[in-house]
Amino acid sequence: MIELTPLARPYAKALFESARDSNNLEEIAAELKTIAAASKSEGVINTIENPILSRQEILNILVKLFEENISNTTKRLIQILAENKRLNLLEPIYFIYQDLLEKHKDQNSIEVFVAVEPGEEAKENIEQKLKSTYGEDANIYFSKDPKMMGGLSIKIGDESLDLSIRGKVNKLVNQLNF
């Protein structure tokens, strides 16, 4: 599978600059979050990948779908992506934009990988401990990774702490191979 981040980065940067100039960084972030989530739904994927529909028809369907929830700036982004056949970049653009926003606001972004979705109490404990260490304004995201077998892995910027069963097994295997 092709890595989409390098393709999405110029679009995200341009959108971020536009949002910063018009002083609506948070609004665009919220709009992108909605669009990115919707872009993963089966209906939107089928619309984007439908070979029968023209680019203009796909654009019209998407704009009509999000019409009440997005600004002209975000509509323009969708139009540009449709023209360039890059509508598959909506989710990576959101993640890059969010990263740019966090850097702009000097916030930490923390991703917690878990094998199974933790309960609300466990989730709150994890968030509380991470926020006490990395700041109350840290953005914490939970992602499910069943391959971990159990435990959790925490990624903060380019640092990671692997407390998963898979990580411990890999460490043990590496120690035995020497």
Specify the CATH number for 5-103; select among 1.10.10.10, 3.40.1190.20, 3.40.720.10, 1.10.520.20.
1.10.520.20
Using DSSP's 3-state secondary structure scheme, residue 73 falls into: helix
List where CATH 1.10.520.20 sits in the chain: 5-103
1 confidence band (pLDDT: 50, 70, 90): very low
Residue 17 pLDDT > 60:
yes
Distance separating alpha carbons of residues 12 and 97, to the nearest angstrom = 5
Distance separating alpha carbons of residues 160 and 71, to the nearest angstrom = 36
Distance separating alpha carbons of residues 127 and 106, to the nearest angstrom = 18
Starting at the earlier edge strand, list the strands of the sheet with 109-114. 139-144, 109-114, 152-156, 159-162
* Residue bearing the bigger pLDDT, 178 or 145: 145
